[in-house]
Structure 1
């Protein structure tokens, strides 16, 4: 397997105020007060609290999204936010008010477009749902660091066993090729074959 550095690390090394969140660590809890952040690299899971008191998947944040800005209006966070992969965040807002407004509008537009993608991830053929998540999370170099199998199951609305079976099939087909990325478990980092991915159904 080839060795890659973690996604986004080189691009944030020079940003003095960047905050690193390891995979699996919570950024904030629903109802808690706190600042807003712009996600520079990585993926974050947003959860609500279900009637039974357990976390229920609500949405997904990826690079470029602004997180927690509702706390500036309502005094608390609407969702709980947990890192699915290693994440780098920057304090928000930063800079001139005009740039802040433009950044917020761009983030809202991106989040609105992704909402449709997330709905698609929870319906249709099981394999297409997993492929949709891979398309959403892969980087420009054709690599992807995936969440845990249980997180993938929660995001796609599928059973853990189904996710395991699909992942094994994608590896056997050559669409996903395991790679070594510093600090990332071997079962979660892959190079994605763009030709094979392009020939498979979209969720």
Structure 2
């Protein structure tokens, strides 16, 4: 049985296999015991999502590789493959499948990925909110008011506003990537806070596009 490389050479908090009692060091497989039976192991309480998918810890990632690794790994962890396994392995399979899905969704979304990178550095917006400038907040409020006014069947889709807002998002994404790459974490935190507002506006624009039959 071939074990995906993403399940090997990842730090583990498990000290021994629950079945064969083999001692497992931090460089051994965190999901399967490397013994001949390859029994499933419990989910670790701490895990680096990037290493789980064999990716470098970076904001800029290859999402195609991420999806490819996710699908390949899920082939070995999906609960449907554990129907003939013991109850404990069924539970481990469910737990690991849930972990894998959560990790995949986190890394696939640029904003969630940025939040996760900051979390790895013990920085969270929720615990220490960013105080954004009043001018920026006023600007966002005016855009939202405009969107409320545009949400009218008699008005055409605000294409110019959509182009402007999506350019804002692209520009902020580039700034966010640079801040994370240079480990300017406070700057990254501020940009991410701004992006959350722009992302909310983009969601509203998408809803308008659906309403107007554009998408």
TM-score, with structure 2 as normaliser: 0.31
Q: Kindly name which structure, 1 or 2, has the bigger radius of gyration based on alpha carbons.
A: 2
Question: Structure 1 or 2: larger strand share?
Answer: 1
Q: Which has the higher contact order (CA 8 A, sep 6+)?
A: 1
TM-score, with structure 1 as normaliser: 0.32
Question: Structure 1 or 2: larger helix share?
Answer: 2
